[in-house]
Structure 1
Amino acid sequence: MRGTIFTVLAAALWLAACDMPASDLAGASTGSKPPLEKVSLAGGAVVVDGPEGYCIDPETSRSRNGQGVAVIASCYILSGGKAGYNVPPVIVTVTVGPKDPGGAVPDPAALAKAAGAPLLGAYEDDGLTLAHLGSGGDKMLSEGDQRYWRGAFLQGGHMVGLALYAPEGDAMAGRDGARMLGQVRDFIVRASP
């Protein structure tokens, strides 16, 4: 029962963080603060580090009370063309829930249910669960694809939720998005204590 309650609470947290208005997610392209290579969340228990060419948006990333949210996007876009190079223009949100040593990673069907979206595909490997969802991605990214990805894994006793939003028709809205989220998870695992 505790695992089910945690899964529902964690899903609500992910949805709240991952459903920030697109204007908040896009606000970083103003370049008012330089993009970050890494950011520590949940008191340093989870370190978010993006794949090559991707940085952390300092404007929309937050950490408090053992939880946190970070937004990963193109370094080139976040810096207003001052750093990085062209990479696929996706937005990845990373949400870290409170520490719960007994937490269990939800399955793809639970991620789809929490998002209220149809499940197009599922992937589970080495502690990472991914759900390819059929609606809602266009609400997060201007001219975004309806399809998007959500994922979850455990790191340092914290549930980490992932979401990837891509432009309409972009390969990242399809299979390439699963690979990208796998890379994001791998970078987080390597960077975290």
Structure 2
Amino acid sequence: MPTTSTRLHRLIAGLALVSLTACGGGAGLANLTDGLGAGLSRTPPKSVDVARGAVTVSGPQGYCVDRAGSRLRAETPFVLLGACASIARDRSAGRPLQQGLLTVAVSPPDGGPGFAATLPQLETFLSSPAGRAALARDGLDTSVEVLETRREGEALLIRLRDTSATALPGTEATYWRGLFEVNGHLVTASVMSFANQPMAPDLAVATLRGVIAETRRASVAG
């Protein structure tokens, strides 16, 4: 049976890998923050099923799935979400009050212990060099500083600064990440601000809570 640290390391390492392959999609969204072109033929989806339908990833109001920047059929599915208007290039498609860039990765089920029962160990693990290395996009513990952790219900919220050179273009180094479980899958969600339009810290953590709540709600409903 996988240990807590092994589960977390596999998930975050998978997220780092698919984040690198999705940098083109992230850069595209960043380029659309300063102006929108003509509308596309259809509005992008507001949610998407991954992990063989076990998890439905859904963002807060105003956010849609960027299918071009996502990796939906990977072993560790990766979903990129941005302002609906930016993805559709149509102002009528809607946008959040202040837009950011959201990413969600979903681990394969591994039969490990329930997530809620492992929260204390996860929190301790993240403060260790191995935990910081697992969080870092470049895999180096020296690239990450864990600024704050919060346990909210059965979720762990982390505010961190990652100075890896592999960050998604146009985003700030400091961002929020949440870890939670849905139908036996460990899920990590990140809320990043654009450097030219920084998101207020309170709004960033509220957006993260929205991703967690909407994904849980949609997954149960589905």
Taking the aligned partners of 1:76 and 1:58, their CA distance within structure 2 comes to 14
- Residue 199 (structure 2) aligns with: 171
Select 1:162's aligned residue among 179, 189, 200: 189
- Residue 41 (structure 1) aligns with: 50
Cα distance change of structure 1 residues 71 and 58 upon mapping to structure 2, 3 Å threshold: same
Q: Does 1:102 align with 2:77?
A: no
Gaps of 5+ in 2: none
Equivalent AA in structure 2 for residue 109 of structure 1: S
- Residue 77 (structure 1) aligns with: 86
- Residue 180 (structure 1) aligns with: 207
Gaps of 5+ in 1: none
Cα distance change of structure 1 residues 148 and 136 upon mapping to structure 2, 3 Å threshold: farther
**TM value normalised by structure 1:** 0.84
Instruction: Indicate if the aligned counterparts of 2:101 and 2:194 stay in contact, CA closer than 8 A.
Output: no
Matches within 5 A, 1:18-57: 18-20=19-21, 22-27=23-28, 34-57=43-66
How well do the aligned residues superpose, as a CA RMSD in angstroms?
A: 2.6
Taking the aligned partners of 1:50 and 1:179, their CA distance within structure 2 comes to 12
Cα distance change of structure 1 residues 159 and 129 upon mapping to structure 2, 3 Å threshold: same
Q: Which range moves more in the overlay, 41-50 or 116-125?
A: 116-125
Cα distance change of structure 1 residues 175 and 135 upon mapping to structure 2, 3 Å threshold: farther
Corresponding residue SS for 2:24:
helix
Identical counterparts, % of pairs:
24
Select 2:152's aligned residue among 125, 129, 133: 125
More helix by share: 2
Taking the aligned partners of 1:131 and 1:42, their CA distance within structure 2 comes to 24
| Residue 146 (structure 1) shift | 1.9
- Residue 68 (structure 2) aligns with: 59
**TM value normalised by structure 2:** 0.74
| Residue 60 (structure 1) shift | 1.9
More strand by share: 1
Q: Which range moves more in the overlay, 132-141 or 70-79?
A: 132-141
| Residue 42 (structure 1) shift | 0.1
Corresponding residue SS for 2:68:
coil
- Aligned residues, how many? 191
Taking the aligned partners of 1:69 and 1:94, their CA distance within structure 2 comes to 6
Which one has a bigger Cα radius of gyration? 2
- Residue 11 (structure 1) aligns with: 12
Corresponding residue SS for 2:108:
strand
Taking the aligned partners of 1:58 and 1:83, their CA distance within structure 2 comes to 19
Equivalent AA in structure 1 for residue 153 of structure 2: D
Render the CA deviation track for 1:94-153: whole Å, top value 9, x for unaligned: 0001012315453253664422410111111111112111234883142x2221122211
Corresponding residue SS for 1:186:
helix
